[in-house]
Chain A
Amino acid sequence: MEAFGLLLHGFAVLLTWKTLVLMMVGLVLGVFVGVLPGLGGPNGVAILLPLTFTMDPTSAIVMLSCIYWGALFGGAITSILFNIPGEAWSVATTFDGYPMAQQGRAAEALTAAFTSSFIGSLVAVLLITFLAPMISSFALKFGPPEFFAVYLLTFCSFVGLGREAKHKTVISMSLGLLLAGIGMDTVSGNLRMTFGSSELLRGINFLVAVIGLFGISEILLTMEERLALRGHAASISLRVVLGVWKDLPKYWVTLLRSSFIGCWLGITPGGAIAASFMGYNLAKRFSKDPESFGKGRIEGVFAPETAAHASGTAALLPMLALGIPGSGTAAILLGGLMVWGLNPGPLLFVEHKDFVWGLIASMYLGNVVGLVLVLTTVPIFASILRVPFAAVAPMIVVSCAIGAYAIQNAMFDIWLMLGFGVVGYVFKKIGIPLAPFTLALVLGNRAEDAFRLSMIGSGGTLKVFWSNGLVGSITTLAIVLLFWPVIDGLLARVGLTQRAKPASG
């Protein structure tokens, strides 16, 4: 009940004309970046972050989070109308969404996508409302060893549970952690890895890296791919919306299952991509007519969209409660908090109640307003794709440069952005994942500080990470997850032997 009272206080903080206008601006910009080829949630948020530098933190985070919701909604438009998944997690939406559009049911597919996005996000926001304060108050008891163990758990789960080749995830993560260490050492004040360069004294700002890795590299990749778009126009009428909503109760199991999968994979670093595919596959597996999937079945839109959006939203839970982002975009939002001098983590709930509850309230309101906005403006946003890419590409490059420069007012950062753009392009093409790199770059200094404080406290023994039940459990779990592919292989082998026995016997 305390959470409910605080949430009402959050709405009171939020409901000012200024914040509501910023919310609308954020949503429109978000849908815009979601629809544009070569942009998406993470880079949209990173590029537009400088706009918020002069705002108070609450207004700023409301606008940024609304860019995020808008981008999530916008991604579905291109997936369904043009068969172009704006983000990797939108791939599963195209399986049934595009066939629906081809059958002249684009409006129905879009309504289903927006509604299920809303439902998925809503379930995750409810989870955040009631779980985040509990986790953060529990985490207040954490010391440096516990925090390092949680960071280790995050890193290890990326390596162990990621779909990419393990050595590539390790390369990506260790590179991110190393680059985070460039500049002045926060504990001793010594300079590290600067090689006499005064530009590197500041270190590498992760937002500059993100803009290059996601923004510039995406432009290079988009240019490389075929850009001839052929799609369907759609305007959504109230009749179609009400028709889809009337049928919603029929799909309550799918919606609930996908929400649960999404929340689970959002809190653990499984991610929205895994969530959308798992949601889709399970909907197909439990369907009475699995053959109809992929041919324009509305359930095939509901399932991945609900899961992906529940996951994307739930990724904000560990960010707020523990200061550990569950996704790339959550990492960028976390960077935003740090820019405004806020320290994400358990103390945020104690020291900045207005901010936290204003943000959570904005998640509710942003989703409602976002849903209405996209349902009423689809044709306008879809027509953005008529703008020639030769006009869009240089505008995105300029926006990226503005974003990169504004963070530290340094020309060097524009060059750095370009360098990271090339790195991102090459890494994406050879399968080195970028999410662990971003996460490591954001968390690097905090993880190192927690490690050093733990080691200083223990006199240099690693036993500190097993010094009590809590830290010991987290560290052990981290190691289990790191070696999960090996353990899973062994378990499967045991399972195979057990299954083989009756057959052979």
Chain B
Amino acid sequence: MNAHPTFTRRTVFVVAGLTATTLALSACGREADSGGANAGASAKPIAEGKATGTLTVWAMGAEGEKLPALVKEFEAANPGAKVEVTAIPWDAAHDKFASAITAGQTPDAAMVGSTWMGEFAGMDALDPTPEGIDKASFFEGAQKTTEVDGTAYGIPWYVETRLVYYRTDLAAKAGFSEPPKDWDGLKAMAKAMQEKAGAKFGIGLQAGGQGSWQSIMPFAWSNGANLTKDDGKAYNFDTPEIAEAAKYYQSYFTDGIADKAAPAQPTTEPDFASGRVPMFISGPWMMSAVEKVGGAGFKDKYSVMAMPTKDSSSSFVGGSNFVVFKKTENRDSAWKLVQWLAQPETQVKWYQQSTDLPSVKSAWEDPAISADDKLATFGKQLETAQAPPTFPSWEQVITSFDTEMEKVTKQNADVGAALKTVQQQAESIGTGQ
């Protein structure tokens, strides 16, 4: 092309000109806000009869691998229906959903992360939950993760919540035969672990950084914090409830009870098994993880306790939801699958296959679950556990909270100023709705 230097230049101008024309013709600029197209959308009920046709379903991680075995039973009960499950790795899932929604190539139904609901509902991709599904059968905090701007989309499929893990043998040495109930008690116990039970650090708390809000917010929620204001239309970080909780959390680091210089990759399980750090806050998956590291008999050396009470005892509820996409051509059958997944019997079966905890309250009465003391504690905490608001910008806003809390824990920064910064950033980012 060097022989025709004018060609490239001309082409660029032509292309640029065309682009400019396209842009002008396609009338740039946002359309006037219609005030939420879905506001108050009332969903059609699910049709009677059995499910038919082929359903494509996407699911992530271990769930994606185990779901095909579960849906075989759905196919057996609905002979005309076939469910094709595509397993997606978690890392790639969000982008895959986003591009599928953009291209209009969504599956019929899918498992989605509970923090993506606001974004996907905002892109008008999800079908509102029809009447046939009893919203009151789920844990309230989990049900809230499906509600965007007042409308429910899909169901909470499985749940998890955070509790305090502690070594019972070391707690006895430290003089605690019963787990403490309130904030002061927890701190006294952690301190006693250090002083009397030979622990290097009393409790393992995440010193800020990504995801640390999941350990800090349970304290704030236990103190009556509400993350939204103005009738659920705006973020609300700069409140006395959150400040008090963050100061309490900070005091663990300033008093040397928790490690402010914990390694980037936490060594929670071995530290717990060796007694170096005999307490931490985490979710139900840690039970099998610590038992694996601790070896035989470790099961009886630790237990879990509810989040300590200030105003009440509350924790963070996580998990994944199951949704039906608006673009589906087999809506009724897709909802029938969702309905089936929300049945207590299916939920118990799913727990046995995957160890994912049921989101349906009545499933917890099944002996397969209620017989386990530790699980029962998780079940009790789930009744009061709360979820963050389903704003599309949540992930971004909470990143600034995590960053500021890192300064609070590691550099002993002022809590009030940190929360003010978070609130400012949250307001400049907006809810994204």
Decide whether A and B are members of one complex.
no
Name A residues whose Cβ lies closer than 8 Å to a Cβ of B.
none
